[in-house]
């Protein structure tokens, strides 16, 4: 039996004001989420990005080529109903933040981690009043409650769409601090991504590049950059 596939039925894609934001229409039909809710987003810039994905579809619709549409669907159907739980899950990264776990050797790696991560920890302390403490090794050591509370408060201020983009910034980097730095454009996004890859880059330099690992890393990098763009499109910025 031939698998049924959704096919393109529209000629024109337009963006129109919608209650609380902007929606996308395919001819005279509004784009819906998989659960049949209107796909409405907070900013014109993000709506334009979604409209471009629909306009680029060929005869057969390929959902995997529409990451911004899928992210908006997730914000509406998954994050909105459990906003508090998602924020709590992301805030918890602060207690095991990548930037806090340091090697004790070799000296080159220790120095590289310090140069990349110490400025980020200083920034978090200055910006949020959240001083996280670096430790040697990989064994978990709890961070100060006051610092975690300050970081958690910042995460809980985000709306469901912001949390959707923020989720990938944090989970892909392994760092709440790097994720927050990306939302503030503290450094170029490529720079922040490279700072999350200090250990992997060091290992590749010592032992050579593993093709499979490199392919996976590139996919994660692409997703990290896309999450950064999604987050900033919400305020009509186009990084």
Phi, psi angle pair for 133, to nearest 5°: -110, 120
Give the C-alpha separation, 192 to 135, whole Å: 21
Give the C-alpha separation, 113 to 99, whole Å: 8
Q: Which domains, from first to last, does the chain contain?
A: 1-58 (3.30.2180.10), 82-233 (1.10.3580.10)
44-54: pLDDT as tens digits: 999 999 999 99
Give the C-alpha separation, 160 to 76, whole Å: 7
201-238: pLDDT as tens digits: 999 988 887 888 889 999 999 999 999 999 999 996 66
Q: Is the dihedral of CA 89, 91, 96, 102 positive or negative?
A: positive
Cis bond upstream, residue 106 (ω within 30) = yes
69-115: pLDDT as tens digits: 999 999 999 999 999 999 999 999 999 999 999 999 999 999 999 99
Q: Model pTM?
A: 0.93
Give the C-alpha separation, 239 to 226, whole Å: 10
CA neighbor of 16 nearest in space, from 3, 30, 5: 30
Give the C-alpha separation, 227 to 74, whole Å: 13
23-47: pLDDT as tens digits: 999 998 999 999 999 999 999 999 9
């Amino acid at each position: 039996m031939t698998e049924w596939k959704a096919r393109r039925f529209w000629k024109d894609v337009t963006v129109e004001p919608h209650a609380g934001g902007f929606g996308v229409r395919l001819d005279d039909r509004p784009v819906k989420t998989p659960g049949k809710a209107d796909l409405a987003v907070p900013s014109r810039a993000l709506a334009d990005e979604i409209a471009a994905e629909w306009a680029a579809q060929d005869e057969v619709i390929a959902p995997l080529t529409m990451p911004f549409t899928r992210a908006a669907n997730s914000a509406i159907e998954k994050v909105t109903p459990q906003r508090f739980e998602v924020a709590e899950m992301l805030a918890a990264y602060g207690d095991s933040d990548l930037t806090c776990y340091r090697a004790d050797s070799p000296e080159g790696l220790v120095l590289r981690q310090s140069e990349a991560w110490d400025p980020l920890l200083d920034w978090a302390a200055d910006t949020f009043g959240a001083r996280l403490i670096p430790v040697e090794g990989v064994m978990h050591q709890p961070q100060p409650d006051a610092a975690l509370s300050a970081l958690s408060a910042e995460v809980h201020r985000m709306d469901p769409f912001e949390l959707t983009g923020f989720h990938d910034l944090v989970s892909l980097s392994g760092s709440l601090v790097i994720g927050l730095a990306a939302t503030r454009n503290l450094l170029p996004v490529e720079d922040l991504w490279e700072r999350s890859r200090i250990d992997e880059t060091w290992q590749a330099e010592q032992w050579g590049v593993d093709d499979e690992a490199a392919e996976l890393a590139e996919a994660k990098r692409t997703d990290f950059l896309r999450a950064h763009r999604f987050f900033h499109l919400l305020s009509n910025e186009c990084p």
